[in-house]
Amino acid sequence: MTSEWNPRLVAFFCNWCTYTAADLAGVSRLKYASNVRVIRLMCSGRVDPQFILDALAKGADGVLIGGCHPSDCHYVEGNYKCLRRFQLLKRMLSDMGIEEGRVRLEWISAAEGEKVKTVINEMTATIKQLGPLGMPAKFEEWDKEMEHFAAAVHAQEAQKAPCAEHAQLQETAHV
């Protein structure tokens, strides 16, 4: 029996809007993928890019950030702060070779339970098409590459360094 791969998603939701919308979706019995783990934050502006990198590094295949609509933030400008960080994060992830579709930012108000369902299902479908990210396995691969690289550099340095006797002879010759 072959089991179908399901992506692992982490969602950082604003307490006041998106988390409340996710709660509304649950109360309304709207069906969305069960592979998402929601982390509630007081504001999307509190989402540090390191949170996203940590989630991906620890096995998440995708990350969803949800916040209040622009100019509707309970903390006035928190979602604008989130947007600025998100733009920088996208560039960094691109430089790391991580596909843009793996991280998504959505503005979802408390009354938009249906949108939570739609966004989570869309993101799950997108990640399924991209396949597993597999960062923990990539870290192991990169560690092996670095060990090999370090060994090659060490061997090259050993060839360049004179032996201890030769170094002493050179010192006495200069005196």
Walk across the sheet containing 36-41 and list its strands. Answer: 36-41, 9-14, 62-67, 103-107
Q: In this predicted structure, which of 77-86, 113-122, 133-142 has the lowest mean pLDDT?
A: 133-142
Which of these, 72, 11, 2, lies nearest to 36 by C-alpha position? 11
pLDDT over 90 (residue 61) = yes
Q: How far is CA 15 from CA 22, 51, 58, 68, in A?
A: 10, 17, 24, 9
pLDDT over 50 (residue 1) = no
Residue type, 104: R
The residue whose two tokens read 């869309």 is: 122
HEC per residue, 8-25: CEEEEEECCCHHHHHHHH
Q: How far is CA 10 from CA 60, 103, 116, in A?
A: 6, 10, 14
pLDDT over 80 (residue 174) = no
The 3-state DSSP class for residue 4 equals coil
Position 137 scores a pLDDT of 80
pTM: 0.80
Domain boundaries, the chain: 9-133, 137-174
Determine the Cα–Cα distance for residues 107 and 66; give it in Å rounded to an integer.
Answer: 6
Residues 19 and 38: beta-carbon distance below 8 Å: yes
Specify whether domain 9-133 bears CATH 3.40.50: yes
Type and span of the H or E element at 160: helix 135-160
Determine the Cα–Cα distance for residues 94 and 101; give it in Å rounded to an integer.
Answer: 10
pLDDT over 90 (residue 122) = yes
pLDDT over 60 (residue 160) = yes
Q: Residue 44 gets which letter from DSSP?
A: G
Q: What is the pLDDT of residues 65-99, one digit of tens each?
A: 999 999 999 999 999 999 999 999 999 999 988 99
Bridge partner residues of 38 (DSSP): 11
The residue whose two tokens read 């620890």 is: 58
pLDDT band at residue 106, thresholds of 50, 70 and 90? very high
Q: Please compute, for residue 119, the number of CA atoms within 13 A of its CA located in the half-sphere on the CB side.
A: 28
